[in-house]
Structure 1
Amino acid sequence: MRGQDMKIRLGIDAKWYFDGPPSGHMVVKNLVDEIIRTGDDRFEVYLFLVNKSKTKAQSHFPAHVKLIFLPGIPNLLSNLFLVPLMTLIYNIDVLLFQNFSSTWPARALKIAYIHDVLFLDYPQYYTKAEATYFKQMIRFAAKADQIITISNCEKERMQKHGINVPLGVNVVYHGINKAFKPLHAYNENDILTIQAKYNLPQNYLLYVGRVNIRKNLIGLVKALNLLQNFDLMLVIAGERGNYPELDGYVTSKQLWERIIFTGHVPEADLHLLYARAKVFCFPSYAEGFGLPPLEAMQCGVPVVVSDRTAMPEVCGTAVLYANPDDENEIALEIELLLSDQALYNEKVNQGFAQARKFSWTKAANEILTLITEAYAGRENYSEAQAQPRL
């Protein structure tokens, strides 16, 4: 039994902190930074990292953070076998897993941080290999004590599919990094450097994220083709996946000169790429949360998003919505912003207000509170069980 004055040993799956899927890396990095920064005397933090990041990690994290290095094997296998083994060795009290939980060790409180289960309702956007891999996430989620997810939309999806755990599914919204700022916060030299680096036009629509079918870039490009009365280009920032339909359409409509594919953009460049945009567009078919629209809002850029899944929950009334299946509607909402300066300014101001509702500090504090309450509940239950019966 742990004394009440002892710190909770919190193990965090941070293998994506330095490298990993772009969205996963961003979430892990921001949450871990805030947990370390805002954590109090209740916690002793242990980070699970990969061996290849050892030198970088040892010079990066403060000395009071315990670092545990693991081989760079798939996250599923690492979380099933290596993380639990290290949990036993280091006598960790609470484990915060990324996506894949584990069936052991029994004594540790297991919390699965599951970003989304979109593949259950939208299998058409995933390969068979991806769907098979993610189904294991659902299988092992049932072994967790608690699940944290990122929107009420995803919580409802999990409940619909019968994903239940003893301490329930709890929602903690993502935050926005404070480094995202409006254009007036930057000096002229930095602006000109980014313009030259990415060959940015004076006016451009911006999309940030993966370039795949689920994100509906084909709908956005079709909308661009309808906006013939504006001197406007489209900048697509993100890693390109296999998307032959998009390439075929761009070629058939001779749109290559109106579109800039940047590929992966370093975070430091991304801030200004947002701030320089005229309108941010996010016509995705399905999102568990959808952080890029909020990042754009914090940069003072008005936003057009799809009216599906978590988008209305996250964006509220600060954006214009469009049916992602209708490129005419997407084009119309963009045109409304470009043609009506009063509406444009209104959505910029509403965007600032909406973005202020989300912060990584708030997210980290909510997660730590959930952990504290869950651990206290388990300790109290264990103490009650240990009391002799009269």
Structure 2
Amino acid sequence: MRRILLDLTQLPLERTGVGIYAVNYVHCLQSLAEHGEMHFLVLDDDKELLASARAVPGASVIALNARLFRRFAFRVLLEQVLIPMIAISRRMDAVHSLHYSFPLLSFGRFRRIVTVCDMSFFLFPELHVPVKRVFFQFFIRRLARADGLLFISESTQRDFEARFPRPGPRKAVIHLGADLRRLAQAPDPAVLDALRRKFDLDDYVLYVGTVEPRKNLIGLIQAFEQVAERHPGLKLVIAGKLGWDYDDVLDAAKRSPVRDRIVMTGYLSETEKHALIKAARLFVYVSFYEGFGLPVLEGMAAGVATITSNLSSMPEVAGDAAPTVDPREPAQIAAAMERLLSDDGERQDVASRGLAQSRRFTWENLTHRSLGFYRQVIAARR
């Protein structure tokens, strides 16, 4: 039986992209009869992941001290020394790291599989904190040492191979997914009502994601300013935690001529996020670059007309089901918003096509294909 060690120690408690990926992957493993022998490394402050991992039939869960291993130096020690020791002592066939960095040495005793979430650390280095940029560039340059690479979009694989064209490890593209069942459900009325009262919301356009330069929120604010006069009751809701270098975004919101109609909620729970998405008139996500663009998929899966960027992976996710615009042109964003705000029939058509498109991306598919990739990589060592 295959023994897989899944490293879940790199995940922040406030769930965004890779954290949502990890939670849903582990949850899907709970319902599979044949998943090999799964071993999970989890930090002990991550109660949600601990409970989910322990619910996987036959799984072994190693809970590590979060106060220690959330410190950078100890994280490096964990990854480069302790994980190889655990993998060798437990006779693991493979170690899967979900977020770029991975054990550089395996002593030939286990396979190393790494998920590559995006290439923004090379394509847009100026959009990252210097320490993170140096750290992740170091590991991405060494991915040729891994035995298997999983890319979350074809776009990300193309970006990687353009930068590192030499033949390397076995590769596969496995798209992320959406919880289609949950997103199809009506929002919790109490949660939605509380959010409406807290932020004085009725009719609104929504963005969900981290507040940081890569997300093009200044361009979104400028686009909203262009449509706001024709839709006097409409608000722009920016829902997500503050990332880094967000002062220009906050300043743009404060200086906007429609600043009283721009709402910044801060980080929201999954339940709160679901409620806001379901009640939005439009979902707009016009980032400069994404490895996948999970919020685009979530907007479509919720049955909300979605507008996104024509760059990187976002057209791959949207297909022909969502208008795509040049995120560097606020006038294009505004024109797409105006078209859907003013035409109820077209907005409903876009919403219906988005819902159909979203069904192509499920966490169950990701789980089955990931397990299949493990088998391929492990078999290749023999």
Q: TM-score, normalised by structure 2?
A: 0.90
Contact 2:5 2:96 in 1 (8 A): yes
Paired letter, 1:100: S
SS, match of residue 31 in structure 2: helix
Contact 2:240 2:266 in 1 (8 A): yes
Change beyond 3 A, Cα 1:174–1:217? same
- Give the residue type in structure 1 aligned to 2:193: L
Structure 2 equivalent of residue 123 of structure 1: 125
State the one-letter code of the partner of 2:212. Answer: N
Distance in 2 between residues matched to 1:267 and 1:164, nearest whole Å: 40
Residue pair 2:192, 2:276 contacting (<8 A) in 1 also: no
Higher mean C-alpha displacement, 116-125 vs 261-270: 116-125
In structure 2, the partner of 1:150 is 152
For the residues of structure 1 that align with 2:49 and 2:360, how far apart are their CA atoms?
33
The structure with the larger Rg is 1
- Whether 1:208 and 2:211 are equivalent positions in the alignment is no
Q: Measure, in 2, the Cα distance between the counterparts of 1:31 and 1:60.
A: 10
Pick from 175, 178, 193 the counterpart of residue 176 of structure 1.
178
1: CA distance, partners of 2:166 / 2:79: 20
Post-superposition shift, 1:375?
1.5
Alignment-derived partner of residue 226 in structure 1:
226
C-alpha distance in structure 2 between counterparts of 1:206 and 1:257, whole Å: 15
Range 198-207 or range 259-268, more displaced: 198-207
Contact 1:16 1:24 in 2 (8 A): no
Q: Does 1:353 align with 2:356?
A: yes
After the TM superposition, which of the residue ranges 164-173 and 126-135 deviates more from structure 2?
164-173
Pick the aligned partner of 1:305 from 308, 324, 332: 308
Instruction: Name which of 10, 13, 17 aligns with 2:7.
Output: 13
Which of these residues, 20, 23, 34, is aligned with residue 17 of structure 2? 23
How much does 1:179 deviate? 5.0
Q: Judge conservation of contact 1:34–1:361 (CA < 8 Å) in 2.
A: yes
**Which stretch of the first structure deviates more once superposed, 312-321 or 55-64?**
55-64
Identify which range, 363-372 or 14-23, moves more after superposition.
14-23
Aligned residue number for residue 383 of structure 1? none
Secondary structure of 1:229's match?
Answer: coil
Residues 1:315 and 1:367: Cα distance change in structure 2 (over 3 Å): same
Shift of 1:51: 3.6
Match of 1:114 among 116, 125, 138: 116
Letter in 2 for 1:28: A
Q: Which amino acid aligns with 2:239?
A: A
Change in CA separation of 1:56 and 1:315 when aligned onto 2, cut-off 3 Å: closer
Match of 1:100 in 2: 101
2:52 and 2:304 mapped to 1: Cα distance?
A: 36
The CA deviation at 1:17 is 6.2
2:40 corresponding residue in structure 1: 47
CA contact (8 A) 1:101 1:143 kept: no
Superposed CA offset, 1:304-333 (max 9, x none) = 111111111111111111111111111110
Q: Is 1:79–2:82 an aligned residue pair? A: no
- Give 1:384's aligned residue: none
Post-superposition shift, 1:135? 1.1
User: How far did 1:186 drift?
Assistant: 4.0
Q: Which amino acid is the alignment partner of residue 18 of structure 2?
A: G
Deviation at 1:124, TM superposition (A): 2.2
Gaps of 5+ in 2: none
Give the 3 Å change call, closer, same or farther, for CA 86–263 of structure 1 in structure 2.
same
Please say if residues 172 and 363 of structure 1, whose CA atoms lie closer than 8 Å, have aligned partners that are also in contact.
yes
Question: 8 Å contact 1:300–1:351 — kept in the other structure?
Answer: yes
Partner deviation per Cα, 1:88-147 (whole Å, 9 max, x = no partner): 121111111122122222210110112112221112212322210111221331210010
Q: Distance in 2 between matches of 1:55 and 1:302?
A: 31
What is the rounded CA distance, in whole Å, between the counterparts of 1:59 and 1:277 in structure 2?
30
Distance 1:291 1:53 in 2: 22
2:6 touches 2:40 (CA, 8 Å); kept in 1? yes
Give 1:133's aligned residue.
Answer: 135
- Structure 1 stretch displaced more, 322-331 or 134-143: 134-143
- Alignment match, 2:283: 280
Unaligned runs of 5+ in 1: 1-6, 380-390
Root mean square deviation of aligned Cα: 2.2
Asked if the contact 1:13/1:47 (under 8 Å) is kept, the reply is: yes
Letter in 2 for 1:359: T
SS at match of 1:142: helix
Match of 1:382 in 2: none
1:61 to 54, 61, 64: 54
Amino acid at match of 1:177: D
How high is the sequence identity, in percent, across the aligned residues?
26
| Distance change (3 Å), C-alpha of 1:163 and 1:177 | farther
State the alpha-carbon separation in 2 of the partners of residues 252 and 186 from structure 1: 33
The size of the alignment, in residue pairs, is 370
Q: Pick from 287, 295, 299 the counterpart of residue 298 of structure 2.
A: 295
